[in-house]
Structure formats: C-alpha cells, structure tokens
Amino acid sequence: MGIGSAPSHPFARFVNPPLAELLERLRMDRRFVRGEGAWLWDHQGRRYLDFIANYGALPFGYNPSPIWEALRAVEARGEPSFVQPSYLEAAGELAERLVQIAPRGLRYVTFTNSGAEAVEAAIKMCRSATGRPRILAAHNGFHGKTLGALSATGRPAYQTPFGAPVEGFDFVPYGDVAALEQALEQDGSRYAALILEPIQGEGGIVVPPPGYLRAARELTARHGVLLILDEIQSGLGRTGRLFACEEEGVVPDVMTLAKALGGGLVPIGACLANDVAYNDDFALKHSSTFAGGALACRAGLAALEWLTRDDGSLLRHVQERGRQLMEGLQALARRYPHVIGEVRGRGLMLGIDFRVGREAFAAYGPGTLLPVMAEQEMLTPVIASYLLDVEGLRVAPTLNGQSVIRIEPPLIVSEEQCRQALASIERVVALVAQGRTDALVRHLVADADPRPTATATNGRRPRPLPPRPRPRRERRRGRVRRWCSPTATPRRAASPSWCTRWIWATIPSSTWPSRGSRPTRWSAWPTASTSSWSPSSSGARGWSRRPGGGRTGSSWWCPARPGRSSRRAATRSWR
C-alpha cells in the first residue's frame, strides 16, 4: 500500500474501494489530520500547500476562526437547528443578505444542501414557470451529478452509466453565439431555460469570448427563455468579484450558489430567482428537510460578512494574487510552449492546459513515454501526483478537461505561498519539457518492490524473497535511457524495472501489441481508440530482438518486464 494508507483503512474498505486503489497507485492516498489556512499536515507530520481548496469550497482555507465563532454562537444561544415548517430566523437573514449583494432583480432564495441540488431546484423552477419541458445547456459544462444536473452536464463519460441525459436536454457549443442563436431560432418555444457557467470549471477553466454572456442574455430574453447562471464554483469571490457574471454586467433570471457559501465548514447551496422565474407551484411543492438549517445559514452569514467587509478588501486581494499567478504561469508558457498550450482563467480560478500529445513526439525525441501518457489521459494525474509527493503542493486535474491542471487556492492565499507554488510548478514543467519520464514517475515506484513475499507458515511472519540479482550495467542503462528519458544519466535514473512496469501496468491492455505483430519500431503512440501498435522503420525503438532468441514470435522481448522473465512475460501478453 501507499505511504498514506493501510490495508485496513476504513475508507478503502467501506467508502470507495476503486477510488482508494487509484489514489494508492498515484501515491495520493494521504491521511490528512490537520489543516490551517492554506496548509495541510498528514499523519506523518509532513506539511502540504493546498492549491485545490476542495474545488473552491474552502474560500478561507481550513478551520477559519470567524466561521467557527459563528457556529459556536449557535450552540451558546441554544438556537434550534431544524424547525420546519415555521419562520426560519437564520434562513431569512441569510436570504436577505444574499438579495442585497446579488445582481439586481434576484429577489427570492431557495436553500439547498449542495450545488447539484441547487441546479435541480433551478431546473424545476424554470419548467414550472414556463410550462416548457426542455433545457438547453453547453457542451463540456458541469452542473453536478444528481440525475437532472447530470443531464445538463455535457460529458457523456459521466452520463452513460446512469441513463443520462434524461429526455428534455439539448446542447450547444460553449462560447458560440451563432450556434446558440440558431438553436433558439429553431426550437426556442420549447425551451424553459438555458443553463450556463460564466466560466466552465470542470470543463477545463474555459473563459468564454467577451460579450458571450451578454449575447446569451439578449437571445434568451428575445425568445422568452429563462437564463440560469451556475455560479457554484465561480461565485462568491473566486474570480475577484462577488459573482463572475458581473464582469459583463449580466443579470440572470436564476443563479445557483454553493461551495464557498458554507465558509469551508458546512455544506449549503442556494438558488436565487427573479419574479419571472419564481412561482407558486415551485414554492409550495419543492422542499428539503435539511435545507435552511440554522448552522449552515449562520456559516453562510459569516462567510458573506468576511467577503464584503472593509469595502471588499478580500476581493482586491484575490485580484492581486490572481495577477501574480497568471503572470508567473504565462511566463512559463512562453518559456515552454511545447508543454503548456494555454493558461486560462480569472482571479484565483486558473487552469494550465498541458499540450503534450502525438504532435509533440518530434519535440521530445524517441526516448520518452510522455506523449503516450498524455494520450491515455495519464499525464495530468501523474503531474498532480508528483507535485503532491515531491513538491508538497496539492493541485488536481479538472474532471472534463483531462489535459488541464486547476489552480484554485483559498482566497486568503499569501504572496509568498503563490511564489512557492509557482516555483514547484516550474520544476515539474521543466521535467516534462526535457521528456524526463523517469524523474516524473520515480516517486511512484521508489519505495516498493513489486515482487510478492514468501508465504508465512506455522503462524510465522511473511519472509521477503532474497534480493534480486543486479542486472548488467549495460542492459540497465540502455533500458532507462531508451524508455524513460534520452537525457537522463544512469546515476539519476529510476530503476528501469519499476519505472516501466508502472507505466505499462497503467496503460490499458487493449493497446498492447497483438500476437504476431512483432513491431520493432513505433511511428504512432497508442490512443484510447487503437487496439495495437503500429510498426515503422523509424521512430522510437520499443520491442527489440533478444540476443540469441529462440523461435519466431517468442524471441521478442519487452524491457518493461524485468529480469529473466522478460521474454516469457512478453510472450504471454500476446496470447
């Protein structure tokens, strides 16, 4: 198991075993036991700088004192937690405060327990207000994983296993005004609402072209279609404004909030609406047992107070730190154009788009596996793993944009912490630019011998197998240089057996060579849609003829299978 988990850990056994296995493989199976501000500490005492902030749900970092004080005050007053149906004191106060700071015209607040639930409420509200069944959404968007919100999420990989999208959802390209206008001209009378993110978060931190939101507002108003803006991730200070839609002065009919509203301690969501969208059918027939609870609403009030105090000084701080990070990341993009395709975002909602694919093979040369890792959507998870394990920096890929690493620190992040994060990112980008597969994956295999241990007998403890004989220097050096990095020196290279075993164990077996193909060189890296390797007379040498090999077919060996069983393992993988 990895350094942060144990075979009997209850999360791995009872909560999500497949995710636990993936986290262990990427050495991201940390057990964090303490958090303060932007810092986390694991159970071994190591400190990490957190630039994920739980996808924007930790606006003030871990354990913010003002939010805790508000929660303790609830206990001290003896305030009742859930008292439906009645006039809810905390919910009423929070709703009033939200209406005060929201775009003008949003007058009613429906509380929920999460962002996905807020989207569900918005969809129900718009359908009941218009009497129309259909919802128009954007490709590559993300609105949650409940069935209705998932149906509005433009990512088939998340929808197909659950029978989504359900009937009544259509999609248009994000940022394309012409496509949106065409869809509304053809079927505008059938749509209850258009739902958009001001900035697509899980889609890869995609900022729409200037004027897109304003054009969407004008088109929906012309066709009598309600506009829902999903500010769950972009709202409440994340972009340097209270709401991202303020950048273009757009006022939606419905706006959804969550994540930062709970101050990082209590889950809460909200659906704000104007007079056109809010209606009696929705108000009297939609409810939630725990929505509007005292604890969550008091946390929300404290969070809004923090965001708006001192004439919005925290928002100005977000803008300054956002400029610092954007300038630093754009400098890296100019220095390594074949690694970073684009840096996108606004404020402290940023994304680094790594462009390391088939077209980058010539730039890297024949001795690296980075292009195939990128095409198998493995590169950004490995980069995130490296930054966590080696640099002590927590980042994460976006869900839909598999080539994008998100940069979303707490809003209270300091200038020094931003400098530290930029330095760590620069070091890993430099490794990718050099094609250093060995350095990028060394941490994944350095502490583990993949061989099994001898079976215990008579109640004795398992006895490790004797050390593996050290391979000849020439063979070891050749394997490392050919497979991991053309520039690595033998002294700094990772163990070739472990390095290549991990990579090949992670690549889907459907892309391995078929029996009898016997390729000696590759002209194309495998993709998720290919089922075999393509041999060519030029390119990276992969499989090679073993000296003194035997019969045809079994005399080809793969350096990913170490030691004396290499030829047999390679032969078995073809059968």
The full 3-state SS of 316-340, as one line of letters, equals HHHHHHHHHHHHHHHHHHHHCCCCE
Mapping DSSP to helix (H, G, I), strand (E, B) and coil, where does residue 192 land? strand
Answer yes or no: 124 catalytic.
Answer: no
Structure tokens that stand for 547 in this block: 């000296």
Answer yes or no: 259 catalytic.
Answer: yes
Catalytic residue selected from 169, 259, 282, 438: 259
Nearest to 507 by CA among 542, 474, 538: 542
Catalytic residue selected from 51, 60, 111, 142: 142
Residue 351 near residue 205 (C-beta atoms within 8 A): yes
Nearest to 533 by CA among 557, 516, 555, 553: 516
Residue-wise over 190-205: b if at least 16 C-beta within 10 A, else e? ebbbbbbbbbbbbbbb
Catalytic residue selected from 29, 230, 253, 389: 230
Residue 347 near residue 318 (C-beta atoms within 8 A): yes
The C-alpha atoms of residue 3 and residue 421 are separated, in whole angstroms, by 23
Q: What single string gives the DSSP state of each residue in 488-556?
A: --TTTSPPHHHHHHHHHHHS-GGGSPPTT---SEEEE---TT--S-EE-SSSEE-SEEPTT--STTTSE
State the maximum Cα–Cα separation within the chain, in Å, rounded to a whole number. Answer: 86
Number of neighbouring beta carbons within 10 Å of residue 16: 12
The C-alpha atoms of residue 113 and residue 293 are separated, in whole angstroms, by 9
Structure tokens that stand for 262 in this block: 């709970």
The C-alpha atoms of residue 162 and residue 159 are separated, in whole angstroms, by 6
- 473-483 vs 496-506: helix crossing angle, rounded to 10: 40
Answer yes or no: 145 catalytic.
Answer: no
Number of neighbouring beta carbons within 10 Å of residue 143: 29
The C-alpha atoms of residue 344 and residue 329 are separated, in whole angstroms, by 10
Structure tokens that stand for 383 in this block: 């980069």
Give the list of residues 6+ apart from residue 498 with CB closer than 8 angstroms, or none: 445, 446, 448, 450
Residue-wise over 401-438: b if at least 16 C-beta within 10 A, else e? bbbbbbbbbbbbbeeebbebbbebbeebbebbbbbbbb
Residues tagged active-site: 142, 230, 259
